[in-house]
Amino acid sequence: MFKIMIASVMLTLLIGSLPVSAAGQTPVFKGLWVLDKERTKDIPATLESYSLKVDQTAEELILESAITGELRSANGSRGGQRAPAGGFPGAGGSRRGGGSMGGGMGGGGGMGGGMGSTTGMGAGMGGDGPSLAIPREILIQMALAAPIREARFPLNGKVSSVDIPGSPATDGRPATPDLNVKLSSEWRKDGRQLELTLTRVFTTERGARTMVNRDRWEIEKDGSLVVRRQIETRLGGQEVKLYFRRSAD
C-alpha cells in the first residue's frame, strides 16, 4: 500500500513538471513573439523585424502581425516592397464584422503577379509544369507576406466571416476586388498544435477564386514557437517553417 502511494505521488509530480501542452492543457500562445532570424532559414537580408502579438482567451485567438524592412530575396533580387513600421505594405485596414483586416489584396503586382501581393499568395510565380521549382527565398517572401495584419480566430469550433471592400486603381496601383475572409481553427496532436485557417474568396476577370492559407502553431520544449505555414502556389502547397522567440517586452 505504501509503495502504491509513493508511486502515485511521483506520477503526480512528473505530470506537474511537464509543459502545459504535454500535460493535456491548452498551450498558451499569448504574448509578443519575435522572428528568430538564426533558426529561420533563407530570410531576406533586408528584413528588419517580424513579430506576432497574440492575445488568447478560451473563445478566440487575436493576432496582430507587424513587419518592417523589405521583402526581397536573400540574394538581393528585385520584387520586394518596403514595409512601413507597424504593418505590411499597403496596409490600410477596413473594419467589418469580426475583426480588423489590414491590406486588402495588397499592392504592386495585384492578383496575377507574384510578390507584389501582400495578402495574396503571388499566384504568378511560374508555369504549371511539375518540373518547375520555386526558389526557397521566394517561398520565404511569400510566407512573410501571407498574413493579414489583424485577425481574430475563433477557438470554439465556429467560423468567423469578414467582408473587405475592394479599392479602385490609384497612383499606378491596380484595383483590388471585394474580398471575403473566413477564419477558423482546429486543435491537433491531442491539443498540442493549433491549426489556423484563413480562406480568401474574391472575383477576378476569370471568375471566382479561393485561396486557403494554413498555419500550424506549436510551442517547443525550449519555449520557442514554431509556425508551419502552408503556402499555396500554382505548383501545389509548399510548407515554410518560421521560428519565433518570446519577447520580454
Length, in residues, of the chain: 249
Please give the pLDDT value at position 137.
84
Question: Which helix (H) or strand (E) is 206 found in, with range?
Answer: none
Say if residue 77 is exposed, middle or buried (CB neighbours under 10 Å; 0-12, 13-18, 19+). middle
11: confidence class by pLDDT, cuts 50, 70, 90: very low
C-alpha to C-alpha distance for 216 and 80, rounded to whole angstroms: 25
Note the pLDDT tens digit of each residue in 190-238: 999 999 999 999 988 888 888 888 999 999 999 999 999 998 776 778 8
Write phi, then psi, for 164 (nearest 5 degrees): -120, 120
Name 203's bridge partners: 208
Question: Per-residue confidence at 60, pLDDT binned at 50, 70, 90?
Answer: very high
Closest C-alpha among 146, 135, 115 to residue 42: 135
Q: How many helices (H) and strands (E) does the chain have?
A: 2, 13
The pLDDT tens digits for 151-177 are 999 999 999 998 988 888 888 788 888
Q: How far apart are the first and last CA of the chain?
A: 50
Locus of grid cell 471575403: 180
- pTM, entire model: 0.69
